[in-house]
Amino acid sequence: MAKRQERRIGNTNAYTVHNKVSIIRGGAAFFEAIEEIAANAKYSIHLQTYIFDENDTGNRVADALISAAKRNVYVYVLLDGFASQKLSAAFITRLRDGGVQFGYFRPMVLSNVFYLGRRLHHKIIVGDGQVCMVAGINISDRYNDMANAPAWLDWAIRVEGDVARQLNDLCIRVWNLSARRKKCLATAPPELQVPETECLVRVRRNDWVYTHTQITRSYRELFNAAHKHVTLMTSYFWPPFKLLKRMAAASRRGVKIRLILTGRADVPFAKYAERYLYPWLFRHNIEVYEYDRNVLHGKVATRDNEWLTAGSYNVNNISAFASVELNLDINDAALATELTEKLQTIINDDCTQVTSDSFTSSNNMLKRFGYYLSYRFVHLAFYVFTFYFTQKRDRD
């Protein structure tokens, strides 16, 4: 029954027109935008995210949500049951006593150090079905600009208009399927105020277990449609084989492809696995840049100053085949150019280019063998954690 219900969660293939869109480069600006959405909400707030930590940033967001609930705004918070399991009972009680409806999205098997099953990896906040943000940013100090450390590099897309209404409906459905304690009562937000500006935006979902592979298809389309250049920023880069084939084909057509990857990984083992692919990238004339200023956590891509995608989807098999992910595709020259220019500035100011020569000179045979072992272990671990999946077709 749950499977049949999950298949009905939103048809998100079409672009909508009536949207006002802005790009936010994470850090303090993102959390100020969350507080603004919470402060302005009159009817409902939906927050669904992977990590919600009980620290200064988490408490700020909690205070904003509780303040809205005390104004009789319906507030629904749904968190991943594995990544957010360290929240204390006192913190959750504070949210519930403050009027916030709280729930967990739970894997099949869960312990303190291990989970087996889908994880809720998307990051969404929606206010009144009117304004929303889709991001790769979790709720924690390391994603915020703190006094002693800048935020990890990440991105969010803020939208007013049609897409916010779509995501409001999606959040309700996900909540109703996941939080068994109470069904969502906030089913009829106020009438949508259509923004004067127009921007083509579509919601894209990945939940491979239930045949949703829209973001994976968006990335394939990105390389299939590219004529001049593609700039892709991602953390934890282990692409599915079909995507690597499309990258290679685009490069052979003369498309300039630039990858911005992290140089300071929060998971060193994952970085070793990623570096195993570097020689393949060099052979296919794909430029590699490592971000050195801090940890890179962003997940965005642009094509030909015409199109961009941003959200929670990492370009790897976990996002493609294991997690519940959400991105926004935006077909708008001004916004695509804006993001491309921001990425160019990051390349110029905060990155080191890795070339075939520099990689060979700084990585001896023993190191490269370690990268190989890491890559193979990552694939083995991925298989072990996802062997139970029943969905067999990667729909193209």
Cα three-residue angle 371-249-351, rounded to 5 degrees: 50
Least confident of 65-79, 126-140, 268-282, 328-342: 268-282
Q: Is residue 281 part of a domain?
A: yes
- Residue 49 · residue 31 · CB < 8 Å: no
The answer to whether 123 and 134 are in contact (CB under 8 A) is: yes
**Last residue within a domain, chosen from 197, 224, 247:** 197
- In the predicted model, is pLDDT for residue 388 greater than 60? no
Based on the fold, state whether residues 225 and 311 are members of the same structural domain: yes
* pLDDT higher at 12 or 56: 56
Last residue of a domain, one of 168, 197, 226: 197
> Which amino acid belongs to residue 132?
C
Asked if 375 and 238 count as a contact pair (C-beta separation under 8 A), the reply is yes
**Is 42 known to be catalytic?**
no
The answer to whether residues 23 and 88 belong to one domain is yes
At which residue do the structure tokens 């929606």 appear? 126
Examine the residue annotation and report whether 123 is marked as an active-site residue of this protein.
yes
Point out the catalytic residue in the list 122, 212, 299, 332: 299
Domain membership of residue 247 as a residue range: 206-386
Q: Which of 128, 154, 162, 207 is catalytic?
A: 128
Q: Distance between the two ends of the chain, CA-based, in angstroms?
A: 26
* CATH number of the CATH domain containing 366: 3.30.870.10
Other CB atoms within 10 Å distance of the CB of residue 265? 18
Shared domain check, 214 and 350: yes
147 and 62 belong to one structural domain:
yes
Residues 158 and 266 in one domain: no
Show the CA angle centred on residue 223, arms to residues 394 and 21, nearest 5°. 95
Asked if 220 and 191 sit in the same domain, the reply is no
Helix (H), strand (E) counts: the chain: 13, 19
Residue 5 falls within a domain, yes or no? no
Query: 191 with 214, same domain?
Result: no
Indicate whether 394 belongs to any domain. no
- Cα separation of 199 and 335, whole Å? 9
* Active-site residue, 304 included: yes
Catalytic status, residue 80: no
Task: Give the separation between CA 278 and CA 227, rounded to whole angstroms.
Answer: 23
Of the three residues 148, 180, 197, the one that is the final residue of a domain is 197
Q: Is 44 helix (H, G, I), strand (E, B) or coil?
A: strand
CA distance 138 to 144: 9
- pTM for the structure as a whole: 0.90
- Min mean pLDDT across 21-25, 188-192, 200-204 is at 188-192
In a domain, 396, yes or no: no
pLDDT of 116? 59
Which amino acid, one-letter code, is at 393?
Answer: R
Of 63, 145, 169, 304, the active-site residue reads: 304
Q: Which of 5-9, 79-83, 169-173, 389-393 has the lowest mean pLDDT?
A: 5-9
pLDDT by residue (tens digit) across 77-119?
Answer: 999 988 999 999 999 999 999 999 999 997 655 555 455 567 8
Comparing CA positions, the residue from 226, 276, 234 lying closest to residue 252 is 226
Banded model confidence at residue 148, pLDDT cuts 50, 70, 90: confident
Averaged pLDDT of the chain: 89
Extended beta strands in 50-108, E state: 74-80, 101-105
Report if residue 391 sits inside a domain.
no
Residue 64 lies in a domain: yes
**In-domain check, residue 1:** no
Q: Count of residues for the chain?
A: 396
297 is catalytic: yes
Q: 268 and 377, same structural domain?
A: yes
Pair 175, 153 in one domain:
yes
Query: Which tokens go with 175?
Result: 């909540």
Tokens matching residue 326: 């959400």
Q: Annotated catalytic residue: which of 123, 154, 162, 329?
A: 123
Q: Give the whole-angstrom CA distance, residue 200 versus residue 349.
A: 31
316, 294: one domain: yes
Q: Are residues 246 and 372 in the same domain?
A: yes
Q: Which of 80, 212, 297, 329 is catalytic?
A: 297
pLDDT tens digits, one per residue of 11-52: 457 899 999 999 999 999 999 999 999 999 999 999 999 999
C-alpha to C-alpha distances, 354 to 50, 69, 198, 200, 334, nearest whole angstrom: 31, 49, 40, 35, 30
Number of domains present in the structure of the chain: 2
| Residue 369 placed within a domain | yes
Alpha carbon separation from 321 to 63, 244, 260, 286, 387 (Å, rounded)? 35, 16, 23, 25, 11
Q: Are residues 246 and 323 in the same domain?
A: yes
Catalytic residue among 121, 122, 212, 271: 121
User: Annotated catalytic, 284?
Assistant: no
How far is Cα 175 from Cα 184, in angstroms, rounded to an integer?
Answer: 7
